[in-house]
Structure 1
């Protein structure tokens, strides 16, 4: 019975999100889709409780590269890129800021986690050109299945499967499967596969 009610709720919220998605689609024909996406994300991030969880998942199913029904995306969480994938069983805590990424199944993302679109988003080599004008390169960061990113961690490189990133860690290099990492910059302190 619980699964039937959840399925009905997902359908209801997809219908609620459909008119807003149609508005998004029309506006994206005349402007930057990612810029517009960020604005709509800010709006959807403000709905509290389970109502917000279901409404966000419904809208992101329409607008992201992939978003499963079975995800929880907390209050105040922002996404900056449509090219984001979130797979089933994933929990994303409140107040996160997530760039271009692929978050695999059954991940736990703590509160206030920042997943950047790689570590090359900003060039800064030419001192005669303002930083804002030097451009950069966006990379898709992957979080492996069944990984846990602790509160306040900053992720700039891919994290393998079944990893633990300690709270407050700054990941600047790829993390191998089964690793437990901590620190700034994050270093492997232990393997979960013993």
Structure 2
């Protein structure tokens, strides 16, 4: 019964936010989807409280590649790429910055976590050109199921299932499954016993 009530609440809130969703879908026919998702994300990030979290989830269900209806997306969280997947049971803390990624089931992100669209977003190999004119490559970062990314972690590479990224860590290389990593750059600190 509790699951049914929750499902109905999520559905009602998706209907409440539907005028915003419809305007996004119409504008996406004319404009760049990533620029559009960033603009809508900035506006929606300011809705406070649990109601704001649920309304954001109602919008992102239809605006991102995939977003589970029960994802909790906190105040101040920004998305920069439409090709983002948020799986079931994900919690995204306040003031996160999310690029092109897939966040696995039951993963938790602390406050101020940044998931970049890989580590090749900016080229800087030609000193005669401004960095902004050198382009870059966006890659989809994979965050496994049941992970914990601590406050202010910067993630530019994949994180294996069941792993923990310590607060303030900078992940530039892929993290294996079932480990705790920390530091800048993040290194394996220890293996978790269940893996």
Q: Same fold (TM over 0.5)?
A: yes
Aligned length: 194
The answer to whether residue 100 in structure 2 is matched with residue 93 in structure 1 is no
1:146 aligned partner: 146
- Distance, in Å, in 1 between the alignment partners of 2:11 and 2:28 is 24
* Offset from partner CA, 1:94-121 (integer Å, 9 cap, x none): 0000100000000010000000000000
1:172 aligned partner: 172
1:23 aligned partner: 23
- Distance, in Å, in 2 between the alignment partners of 1:33 and 1:106 is 27
1:102 aligned partner: 102
Tell me the CA shift for residue 22 of structure 1: 1.3
With structure 2 as the length reference, what TM-score do the two structures score?
0.97
- Distance, in Å, in 2 between the alignment partners of 1:190 and 1:119 is 24
1:47 aligned partner: 47
Where 1:189 maps in the other structure, the secondary structure is strand
2:62 aligned partner: 62
- Distance, in Å, in 2 between the alignment partners of 1:87 and 1:28 is 23
* Offset from partner CA, 1:70-116 (integer Å, 9 cap, x none): 11111000010010001111111000001000000000100000000
Where 1:175 maps in the other structure, the secondary structure is coil
The answer to whether residue 4 in structure 2 is matched with residue 4 in structure 1 is yes
2:116 aligned partner: 116
Q: Which runs of 5+ in 1 are unaligned?
A: none
Q: Which runs of 5+ in 2 are unaligned?
A: none
With structure 1 as the length reference, what TM-score do the two structures score?
0.97
- Distance, in Å, in 1 between the alignment partners of 2:91 and 2:29 is 32
User: Given that residues 10 and 70 in structure 2 are in contact (C-alpha distance below 8 angstroms), is that contact kept between their aligned partners in structure 1?
Assistant: no
Tell me the CA shift for residue 159 of structure 1: 0.2
